[in-house]
Structure 1
Amino acid sequence: MTISKETFSSDCCKCSRLAKFLSEVRVTHSEYFARPVPSFGDPNARLLVVGLAPGMHGANKTGRPFTGDHAGILLYRTLFEQGFSSAAVSKSSTDNLELKNCRITNAVRCLPPKNKPIGEEIKNCNGY
């Protein structure tokens, strides 16, 4: 099986609904990342953690998957305890946390309205 490895773009606008929503979020939360969130960690890692989509006040704010939200508290602590993370807490995308043989991503790279992506949006992100 051949897996497509499209180059990720933080300027992606393939999904008009998501692009429109992120544009609105950038107005109401100008300090937020509010762009497609890239994967974090080694692309050839042994462990891949896949979330559904960035959370409004988590990855959408910080630009790093599972950073700044409640789900990330448990995830990064567990990764640290199992030797996959250099720290137990992920505070921001600039906190020097490093993953070890682990990669974290989302099925959909952009924050969807009401945290509910649709099938076409998931399909559009499959190449990443």
Structure 2
Amino acid sequence: MYIDEGKHAALGKIGESMTQFAGAAAAGQFAVNEAGGQALIAAIDKLLDWLDMNQFKLRNLEQEPPLGSSNAAKVIKPYMASVATDHEGFLTQLRALGESLKQARQGIETAMRNYERTDSAEASKLT
């Protein structure tokens, strides 16, 4: 998720990291055993399920809240909606998190296959 680190904060670091993670797994640079991989996948799936189940509730944040008709309310209403939806917004970051989690899941699945291949190859040397 986005943490406001000022004007010069690097956005999309999580997404970049997950892309590199999945790429490293695809290149065979690391491996994860079945138990460890399944634990990570279960945690990712739980968070993805939460994101899916709450996407419609959270869409309320895209709308201007009914704050009244005072001048202050007229100024704040559109601002509150944009905080949720602009390029650094809460909902925008949640969607990016979902995509990053999907990439991480793919990377873990690949790393599990890497482990199985490596384990089989090493086991065949022993016989």
When normalised by structure 2's length, the TM-score is 0.21
Indicate the structure whose relative CO is greater, using CA pairs within 8 Å and at least 6 residues apart: 2
Structure with the larger strand share = 1
Structure with the larger helix share = 2
When normalised by structure 1's length, the TM-score is 0.21
Whose Rg is larger?
2
